[in-house]
Chain A
Amino acid sequence: MKTKKWTVDKGRTVQSLAQFITRFLKLDASEQLFIYVNQSFAPSPDQEVGVLFDCFGSDGKLVLHYCKSQAWG
Chain B
Amino acid sequence: MADDKDVLRDVWFGRIPTCFTLNPDEVTEREAEPYYLLLPRVSYLPLVTDKVKKHFLKVMRTEDVEEMWFEHEGTPLKWHYPIGVLFDFHASNTVLPWSITVHFKNFPDVDLLHCPTNSMVEAHFMSSIKEADALKHKSQVVNDMQKKDHKQLWMGLQNDKFDQFWAMNRKLMEYPTEEGGFRYIPFRIYQTTNDRPFIQRLFRPVSTEGNPHTLFDLLKEMCPDALTKDGCLQHLLCLPWTSFMSLTLNLCFSSSPPPKVESASLLG
Residues of A within 8 A of B (CB): 37-38, 40-46, 48, 51, 54-56, 73
* Closest chain B residue to A50, Cβ basis: B196
The stretch among B10-18, B21-29, B128-136 that forms the contact with chain A is B128-136
Q: Does B123 contact A (CB under 8 A)?
A: yes
A55: B residues at CB distance < 8 A: 135, 184, 200-202
Q: Does B139 contact A (CB under 8 A)?
A: yes
Knowing A46-B113, A54-B202, A73-B123, the reply to whether A41 touches B131 (Cβ < 8 A) is yes
Give the size range of B's interface with the partner. 20 to 34
Q: Are A44 and B124 in contact (CB under 8 A)?
A: yes
A51: B residues at CB distance < 8 A: 200-201
Q: Are B134 and A44 in contact (CB under 8 A)?
A: no
Q: Does B234 contact A (CB under 8 A)?
A: no
* 11 CB-based A-B contacts, threshold 8 Å: A40-B143, A41-B139, A42-B127, A44-B113, A44-B124, A44-B127, A46-B80, A51-B200, A51-B201, A56-B134, A73-B127
* Closest chain A residue to B113, Cβ basis: A45
Q: Does B176 contact A (CB under 8 A)?
A: no
CA distance A48 to B200 in the complex (A): 10
Q: Does B210 contact A (CB under 8 A)?
A: no
The answer, among B134, B139, B197, for a CB contact under 8 Å with A48, is: B197
Residues of B within 8 A of A (CB): 78, 80, 113, 123-124, 126-128, 130-131, 134-135, 139, 142-143, 184, 196-197, 200-202
> Shortest 6 CB-CB distances between A and B: which pairs?
A41-B130, A41-B127, A41-B131, A40-B139, A42-B127, A51-B200
CA distance A43 to B88 in the complex (A): 23
Q: Are A38 and B139 in contact (CB under 8 A)?
A: yes
CA distance A45 to B197 in the complex (A): 13
CB distance from A55 to the nearest CB of B (A): 6
CB distance from B15 to the nearest CB of A (A): 25
B135: A residues at CB distance < 8 A: 55
A42: B residues at CB distance < 8 A: 123, 127
* Closest chain B residue to A39, Cβ basis: B139
B126: A residues at CB distance < 8 A: 73
* Closest chain B residue to A47, Cβ basis: B197
CA distance A55 to B185 in the complex (A): 11
Knowing A41-B131, A73-B126, the reply to whether A48 touches B202 (Cβ < 8 A) is no
B113: A residues at CB distance < 8 A: 44-46
Give the one of B80, B127, B139, B200 with max A CB within 10 A. B127
CA distance A54 to B196 in the complex (A): 14
CB distance from A67 to the nearest CB of B (A): 14
Knowing A48-B196, A54-B201, A55-B201, the reply to whether A43 touches B134 (Cβ < 8 A) is no
Known: A42-B127, A46-B80. 18 other contacts (CB 8 A): A37-B131, A37-B134, A40-B130, A40-B134, A40-B139, A40-B143, A41-B130, A41-B139, A43-B127, A43-B131, A48-B196, A51-B201, A54-B200, A54-B201, A54-B202, A55-B200, A56-B134, A73-B127
CB distance from A16 to the nearest CB of B (A): 12
CB distance from B44 to the nearest CB of A (A): 12
Q: Are B80 and A44 in contact (CB under 8 A)?
A: yes
